[in-house]
Structure 1
Amino acid sequence: MATIYDVAKQAGVSPKTVSRVLNGDGPVNAETRQLVEAAMAELGYVRSNAARMMRATRSGLVGLVTGAISTSIDPTRPTGLPDLFIVQGVQAVLAKAGKTLMIADTAGRQDSVPGLMRTFLEHRVEGLIYVADHHKEIASPGVPSQVPLILANCFDAAGTPAILPDDRAGQRALTESLMAAGHGRIAYVTLMREMVATRLRLQGYHDALAGAGIAADPALVAAGYREGYAQDGALVENAIDALLALDQPPTAICFGNDEMAMRGYGILRSRGLAIPDDISVAGYDDYRAIAETLFPPLTTVELAYRQLGEVAAAQLLARIEGQSDLPQQTLVPGPVRWRQSVRRLTD
């Protein structure tokens, strides 16, 4: 690789003159500048920013750790890429601020995260962002306190600043919308009970019922997910059959996500029920490849992943600038996307 000395020799000038051309920190006449630039082009010289960064107060770099790049996509099932959408939101904000985003992928190994963080720190990043594939608790990455770190779509026990989807508010808003449409018997078929999102969405579901003065009926809540959708088709089917067999069956069913709702469409139709004339259906995620292509289109709640990334980047920039009056946890709401899968029982 060509060095500054090679360029100086090729151009017939001193290394100091080449340095002045590169850094713009001294007078160089136009003819000499052209000679130096031509030599650099001929030799394929690429300047190293290492020395400049050592002198600079700030590097202009931000490090981001994610699993989005190595995520395996199964073409047999519709799957969103929440972590990738979050990264896109981060990139948009940082680019506008003139920062360069460096991305490292975990390759599916969470034990690689500390090492990746250390590598970024060695490159003198101004801040760090860790992006998770779903709302969950993670082990603290253990970054030095002088380097701002933001967690996106996850949180830790150490209280690291975290940007999270507001799952509780989302399910509450959806349930309230169904009630406003005249539905009093609303069922909820959940994802795994162990998931953070499931716990929060159940709270939102019960918040909405309590706010309307409706007593919660445990028979209207059923688990539709255990380990994987390929194995749990029967679980969703059994949950729907149990709901339909109630003395007072639901007029609307909320499913834990849009993929489960899609499965529910087929099961309900196989039972002779029309959507939404006989029963209304709602999902969660606003995975548009499902929600907008189902017939009728699916009412759901948007998980605002890109906005989550934008908020994470904005807060990181604020912390880099020394702003200290920021919340340790920020919840990003997603709107209800009302479509034709819900029948209004009231005018």
Structure 2
Amino acid sequence: MATIYDVAKAANVSPKTVSRVLNSDAPVGKKTRDAVEAAMAALGYVPSSAARMMRSNRSGLIGLITGAISTTAQDTQISGLPELQIVQGIQTVIAPSGNTLMIADTGGDSSRVPGLIDTFIQHRVEGLLYVAEYHQQVHLPKVPANTPMVLVNCFDENNTPAVIPDDRRGQRELVSRLIQAGHDRIAYLTLRENIIATPLRKQGYRDALEAAGLPYDPALVQACEIDNPEGETQVLWDAIDTMLRFDQPPTVICCGNDRLALKVYGILRSRGMKVPDEISVAGYDNYRVIAETLYPPLTTVELPYTAIGVRAAQRLLGMISGESRDSANPAIVAGPVHWRGSVTEQRRSNVTQLKILRED
């Protein structure tokens, strides 16, 4: 990153002269001004108003772009604040590093992102973090090669350093625990098909079944998340009604997230069914406002947002210092299964018993 001293040397003038050109606070001859401006253009120097940057090669600033601040109250109540948790994780690493985290909010408008990136670069941040609201592929403008960037909860096609959740492993470990508890008819009500997490978690579901020697039954898997809350409840009710009419109904229902699990609790109770006495339920996210307040408390998988933020900040600081040891891209972060009262032990079927006997 070029400094004012580099510009002065290239233009064969003093740093004070460069400062005068930048601030227009003293007369400078046209020939000298032209030389300074040509040097700045050649070196890719970005002017900054901070006096600290006039004296040092480091700004101590880290730029972060997110939508967490503008998340609506309704979104908070229903699905939590994953972006905010990620930002908190980032700050726990940035603060003790002696750097300052500058946060810009998109206001929910992705078209603002290029302008925010430009603003941060003009302030000569030492690195950039972009935080997505859910696991997804993003398309961002390129940043200068001398400005490290880490994508958080997202990735792109340019192999930009990224940190994402391990959705496949999370679902696999949950279903494996359910199988260990004796469940071999496991329904899965998934999120939307067009998001990255869904195929990954479905594969994790199938991985666990295969490892246990259990067949995959596509009739037990249905996408139930839609944008219309009332319509979504109807879709869930129909899926559950259909599955409960099978000759071999499921003994446990896995839900794509804890919000869906909350609705499933209500649907089952409206049918007079007790959780987990008559059927078990599991979620995904470990959104504690839901998982710990439901009765019985919800078995679910942690989406490790705080850990993702910590890992992303550590990765960026390593890139800035040149000491990064994290070469995997994207870096994948897994979360644990939280086993609570919504799942009960089942008598194992012959298929599962045979599998266990083979392993023993």
TM-score (norm 1): 0.84
- Give the structure 1 partner of residue 337 of structure 2: 336
3-state secondary structure, aligned to 1:232: helix
User: Is 2:227 the partner of 1:197?
Assistant: no
Q: Deviations over 1:172-208 (max 9, x none)?
A: 0000000000101101001101111111110110111
Deviation, structure 1 residue 59? 0.7
CA contact (8 A) 1:73 1:79 kept: no
Q: Distance in 2 between matches of 1:247 and 1:199?
A: 27
CA contact (8 A) 1:114 1:142 kept: no
Q: Deviations over 1:239-274 (max 9, x none)?
A: 111110111100111001111101001111222211
Deviation, structure 1 residue 292? 0.6
Deviation, structure 1 residue 143? 1.0
TM-score (norm 2): 0.81
3-state secondary structure, aligned to 1:268: helix
Answer with 51-60 or 206-215: which moved more.
51-60
3-state secondary structure, aligned to 1:231: helix
Q: Deviations over 1:257-316 (max 9, x none)?
A: 111101001111222211111111000000111101111000000111011100000000
Q: Distance in 1 between matches of 2:304 and 2:320?
A: 24
Q: Distance in 1 between matches of 2:310 and 2:276?
A: 36
Q: Distance in 1 between matches of 2:184 and 2:248?
A: 11
CA contact (8 A) 1:134 1:153 kept: yes
CA contact (8 A) 1:140 1:157 kept: no
Name the aligned partner's letter for residue 105 of structure 1.
D
3-state secondary structure, aligned to 1:174: helix
Q: Distance in 1 between matches of 2:96 and 2:146?
A: 24
Name the aligned partner's letter for residue 338 of structure 1.
W
Which residues of structure 1 form unaligned runs of 5+? 1-47
- Give the structure 2 partner of residue 83 of structure 1: 83
Name the aligned partner's letter for residue 62 of structure 1.
I
Runs of 4+ aligned structure 1 residues displaced above 4 Å come to none
Q: How does 1:166-245 map to 2 (within 5 A)?
A: 166-245=166-245
More helix by share: 2
Deviation, structure 1 residue 52? 2.4
Deviation, structure 1 residue 140? 2.6
The verdict on how the C-alpha distance between 1:228 and 1:198 changes in structure 2, with shifts beyond 3 A counting, is farther
Q: Distance in 2 between matches of 1:116 and 1:166?
A: 29
Name the aligned partner's letter for residue 82 of structure 1.
P
3-state secondary structure, aligned to 2:231: coil
Deviation, structure 1 residue 76? 9.4
Deviation, structure 1 residue 214? 1.0
Q: Distance in 2 between matches of 1:91 and 1:192?
A: 31
CA contact (8 A) 2:114 2:140 kept: no
- Give the structure 2 partner of residue 17 of structure 1: none
- Give the structure 1 partner of residue 74 of structure 2: 74
Deviation, structure 1 residue 149? 0.3
- Give the structure 1 partner of residue 316 of structure 2: 316
- Give the structure 1 partner of residue 160 of structure 2: 160
CA contact (8 A) 1:140 1:158 kept: no
CA contact (8 A) 2:315 2:324 kept: no
Deviation, structure 1 residue 228? 3.6
CA contact (8 A) 1:261 1:283 kept: yes
Name the aligned partner's letter for residue 293 of structure 2.
T
Which residues of structure 2 form unaligned runs of 5+? 1-47, 349-360
Q: Distance in 1 between matches of 2:309 and 2:324?
A: 20
Name the aligned partner's letter for residue 267 of structure 1.
I
3-state secondary structure, aligned to 2:241: helix
Q: Deviations over 1:94-138 (max 9, x none)?
A: 001111000001111101101101111111111000001111111
Q: How does 1:43-54 map to 2 (within 5 A)?
A: 50-54=50-54
CA RMSD of aligned residues (A): 1.6
CA contact (8 A) 2:284 2:301 kept: yes
Deviation, structure 1 residue 55? 2.4
Percent identical pairs in the alignment equals 56
- Give the structure 1 partner of residue 248 of structure 2: 248
Name the aligned partner's letter for residue 173 of structure 2.
A
Alignment: residue pair count = 300
Q: How does 1:44-123 map to 2 (within 5 A)?
A: 50-74=50-74, 77-123=77-123
3-state secondary structure, aligned to 2:159: coil
The verdict on how the C-alpha distance between 1:237 and 1:76 changes in structure 2, with shifts beyond 3 A counting, is farther
The verdict on how the C-alpha distance between 1:113 and 1:342 changes in structure 2, with shifts beyond 3 A counting, is same
Name the aligned partner's letter for residue 297 of structure 2.
P
Answer with 135-144 or 275-284: which moved more.
135-144
- Give the structure 2 partner of residue 304 of structure 1: 304
Deviation, structure 1 residue 51? 2.5
